[in-house]
């Protein structure tokens, strides 16, 4: 099946008792058993829930994976993955990443004895010198949040395989519509499904997807043993959101391209970060591993003045100043005080993230209205 058909049909069967086309919300914590241990595959909703099962099958199909496991948030998914590792294990992490992931690694998981090394990965070959016998996981995001750096998934996957290291890719920014890391050799794909997958800014959820049986066994065990599972209602909302993922992504990409080009031609704009520009440092890699360039665009104004950047962000009428991304509505974010505030300023600046950077999640509204809004806000 092709992507659009999978988005609508994968994992979703008419409900056998009534024929209901949409998967019902199985709002139950437990299931009747005929005799102790004799049941229809469902015992308790932390372990399994039919609404969640349908969603997991759907998500696995979207990433060309065999197994998917959903969690109460993107960070809960990442936290569960990190529980595969043991004190002394080392993790190589891209130095430009979502602030909450940085905070989870450094301020939570590190206390349990894992070591995290944050390094630039735009030059894939350069990471090999950081690998030690203790390196067990490579964690990448691409495009990165918020600088839209592109990391060559296939090249990193080759290095990971050579050293027997697990490669996990946070695919939140691209969504499975634009990029499928498992096809490029990654072992695990993680999504903050809160963003493009859900797409309507009404659910917080995360997912881990893999083709590896050994990892799937561990994830299934941990999903139940740790218990950071999403509610049936949220699984239903996610299934509903995903049905239009391909349509939304088409418009996100169209609008993103229009706005990136418009911003770049504006005399008051210093720099625009968007991987669709032919002079983006890894544009060729983006073209190879992505189907289009997405709706995330960051920019810096000339003069690099924080007060002026704040004035612009407070002047929008259609864009909403808010955390998050990937919803139908356009959002504007100030990474330094919002999504990336948990990364120390010094570390942020080392990775090239300035306090004056403005990040846009371009929605699916009319592009002309969005450009008019930028025009009046930037002045």
Annotate 332-342 with b (16+ C-beta within 10 A) or e (fewer).
bbbbbebbbee
Give the residue closest to ligand PLP by C-beta.
74
Q: Is 98 a catalytic residue?
A: yes
Q: Which is nearer to ligand PLP, 69 or 173 (CB)?
A: 173
Catalytic residue among 195, 251, 348, 359: 195
Q: Is 86 a catalytic residue?
A: no
CA distance 117 to 101: 13
Among 181, 197, 178, CA closest to 189: 181
Residue 52's alpha-carbon distances to 128, 214, 314, in angstroms, are 39, 21, 39
Q: What are phi and psi of 358, to 5 degrees?
A: -110, 130
Q: Is 274 helix (H, G, I), strand (E, B) or coil?
A: coil
Catalytic residue among 52, 79, 98, 359: 98
| H-helix or E-strand spanning residue 68 | strand 67-71
- List the 67-71 sheet strands across, edge first: 67-71, 206-210, 188-192, 166-170, 135-141, 90-94, 115-119
Supply the minimum distance, in Å, between the C-beta of residue 15 and ligand PLP.
28
Q: Is 264 a catalytic residue?
A: no
Structure-token pair, residue 358: 């403005």
- Compute the C-alpha angle 107/108/109, nearest 5°: 115
What are the residues binding ligand PLP (CB under 6 A)?
A: 73-75, 98, 100-101, 141, 145, 170, 172-173, 192, 194-195, 204, 206
Please tell me whether the peptide bond between 146 and the residue prior to it is cis, using omega within 30 degrees of 0: yes
Among 328, 335, 329, CA closest to 299: 335
Catalytic residue among 42, 46, 66, 271: 46
Q: Are 339 and 360 in contact (CB under 8 A)?
A: no
Around Cβ 366, how many Cβ atoms within 10 Å? Answer: 12
Q: Which is nearer to ligand PLP, 289 or 301 (CB)?
A: 289
Q: Which is nearer to ligand PLP, 170 or 373 (CB)?
A: 170
* Torsion angle in degrees (nearest 10) through CA of 363, 56, 10, 331: 0
Q: Which is nearer to ligand PLP, 170 or 187 (CB)?
A: 170
Q: Is 46 a catalytic residue?
A: yes
| H-helix or E-strand spanning residue 191 | strand 188-192
Q: Are 213 and 32 in contact (CB under 8 A)?
A: no
Supply the minimum distance, in Å, between the C-beta of residue 181 and ligand PLP.
13
Q: Which is nearer to ligand PLP, 173 or 377 (CB)?
A: 173
Catalytic residue among 79, 152, 170, 292: 170
Q: Which is nearer to ligand PLP, 50 or 198 (CB)?
A: 198
CA distance 8 to 57: 12
Supply the minimum distance, in Å, between the C-beta of residue 101 and ligand PLP.
5
Supply the minimum distance, in Å, between the C-beta of residue 92 and ligand PLP.
17
CA distance 135 to 151: 19
Q: Which is nearer to ligand PLP, 141 or 292 (CB)?
A: 141
Residues noted as catalytic? 46, 98, 170, 195
């Amino acid at each position: 099946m092709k992507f659009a058909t999978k988005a609508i049909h994968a994992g979703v069967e008419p409900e056998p008792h009534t024929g209901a086309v949409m998967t019902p919300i199985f709002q139950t914590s437990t299931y009747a058993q005929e005799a102790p241990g004799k049941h229809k595959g469902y015992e308790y909703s932390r372990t399994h829930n039919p609404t969640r099962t349908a969603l997991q099958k759907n998500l696995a199909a979207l990433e060309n994976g065999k197994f998917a496991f959903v969690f109460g948030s993107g960070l809960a998914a990442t936290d569960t993955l990190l529980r595969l590792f043991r004190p002394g294990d080392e993790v190589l992490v891209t130095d430009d990443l979502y602030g909450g992931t940085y905070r989870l690694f450094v301020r939570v998981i590190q206390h349990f004895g894992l070591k995290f090394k944050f390094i630039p990965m735009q030059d894939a070959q350069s990471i090999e010198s950081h690998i030690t016998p203790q390196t067990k996981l490579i964690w990448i995001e691409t495009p990165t949040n918020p600088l839209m750096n592109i990391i060559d998934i296939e090249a990193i996957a080759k290095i990971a395989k050579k050293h027997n290291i697990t490669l996990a890719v946070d695919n939140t920014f691209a969504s499975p519509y634009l990029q499928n890391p498992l096809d490029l050799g990654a072992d695990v794909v993680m999504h903050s499904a809160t963003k493009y997958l859900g797409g309507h800014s009404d659910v917080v959820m995360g997912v881990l997807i893999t083709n590896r049986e050994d990892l799937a066994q561990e994830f299934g065990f941990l999903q139940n043993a740790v218990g950071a599972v999403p509610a049936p209602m949220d699984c239903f909302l996610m299934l509903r959101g995903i049905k239009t993922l391909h349509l939304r992504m088409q418009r996100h990409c169209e609008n993103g391209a229009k706005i990136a080009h418009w911003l770049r031609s504006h005399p008051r704009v210093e720099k625009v970060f968007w991987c669709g520009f032919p002079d983006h440092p890894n544009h060729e890699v983006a073209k190879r591993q992505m189907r289009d360039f997405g709706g995330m665009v960051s920019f810096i104004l000339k003069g690099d003045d924080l007060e002026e950047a704040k004035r612009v962000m407070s002047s929008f009428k259609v864009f909403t100043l808010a955390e998050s991304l990937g919803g139908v509505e356009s959002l504007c974010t100030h990474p330094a005080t919002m999504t990336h505030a948990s990364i120390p300023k010094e570390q942020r600046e080392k990775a090239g993230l300035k306090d004056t950077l403005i990040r846009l999640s371009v929605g699916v509204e009319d592009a002309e209205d969005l450009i008019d809004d930028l025009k009046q806000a930037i002045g």
